[in-house]
């Protein structure tokens, strides 16, 4: 598949990311300024700075996305529910939550389904997009397929490869995930996307959204390629 997108269309597939533990207000101001300038789809941040970024992006079409249960996923469903509801109350337009990997690896598929259904239902009720982070670097292909099969039934808006904080980032997992979810659910590739070639590879593999902190570098590379 050849990537046939305008610069604006390409930018609109990017979630401009800042998830560093020590990020200060000036860094979020820069993030939102860049997101406005280039027309990125979303700023991907932890839940604490949602209010700030919503204010900084007021009047623009750029979404604010909150990471929930981040980056380990090792909090209870109710904790993730509270965090999700608070993020939405504070202005989040999208929710990216990390599944409980321990429960998945223990074979507790019912827990994974309950967690996903609970969070997705909240998001749908509030007209907020939902993304399920698999953290594929820790999963077998069978486990990846299992989560995607559950997602195909629950129907979050996206399944997402990784947090970017695990042992590896976005890989060929995108193709595997897309093969399972088909047209029912979209795929977001995140983690390790630092150049245009990798970004294009992820889109060609079936990703509809790209999460990266190298967004400006990548979109400038694409602009130069198109000119």
Region label for 106, one of left (φ > 0), alpha (ψ between -120 and 50) or beta (otherwise): alpha
| Residue 37 annotated to the active site | no
- The bridge status of strand 209-212 relative to strand 158-160 is unpaired
C-beta separation of 188 from 131 below 8 A? yes
Out of 160, 178, 186, 200, which one is annotated catalytic? 160
Out of 41, 80, 188, 200, which one is annotated catalytic? 188
Closest CA to 180 of 216, 211, 142: 142
Positive or negative torsion for Cα 27, 12, 115, 172: negative
Out of 96, 157, 173, 201, which one is annotated catalytic? 96
| Residue 89 annotated to the active site | no
Rounded to whole angstroms, the Cα distance separating 68 from 4 reads: 33
What is the helix (H) or strand (E) element at residue 218, kind and residue range?
A: helix 215-226
| Residue 157 annotated to the active site | no
Between the CA of residue 5 and those of 8, 9, 115, 215, 226, what are the distances in Å? Answer: 8, 6, 36, 16, 9
Closest CA to 209 of 174, 169, 168: 174
Which residues are the active-site residues? Answer: 96, 160, 188
């Amino acid at each position: 598949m050849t990537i046939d997108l305008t610069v604006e269309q390409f930018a609109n597939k990017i979630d401009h990311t800042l998830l560093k533990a020590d990020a200060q207000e000036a860094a979020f101001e820069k993030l939102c300024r860049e997101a406005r300038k280039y027309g990125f789809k979303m700023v991907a941040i932890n839940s604490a700075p949602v209010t700030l970024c919503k204010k900084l992006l007021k009047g623009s079409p750029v979404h604010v996305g909150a990471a929930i249960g981040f980056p380990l996923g090792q909090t209870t469903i109710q904790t993730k529910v509270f965090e999700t509801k608070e993020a939405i109350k504070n202005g989040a337009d999208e929710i990216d939550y990390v599944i409980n990997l321990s429960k998945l690896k223990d074979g507790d598929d019912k827990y994974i389904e309950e967690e996903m259904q609970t969070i997705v239902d909240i998001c749908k009720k509030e007209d907020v997009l939902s993304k399920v982070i698999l953290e594929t670097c820790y999963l077998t292909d069978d486990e990846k397929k299992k989560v995607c099969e559950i997602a195909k039934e629950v129907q979050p808006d996206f399944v997402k490869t990784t947090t970017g904080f695990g042992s590896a980032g976005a890989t060929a997992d995108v193709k595997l995930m897309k093969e399972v979810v088909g047209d029912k659910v979209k795929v977001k590739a995140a983690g390790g996307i630092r150049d245009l070639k990798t970004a294009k590879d992820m889109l060609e593999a079936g990703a509809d959204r790209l999460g990266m902190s190298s967004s400006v570098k990548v979109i400038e590379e694409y602009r130069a390629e198109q000119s």
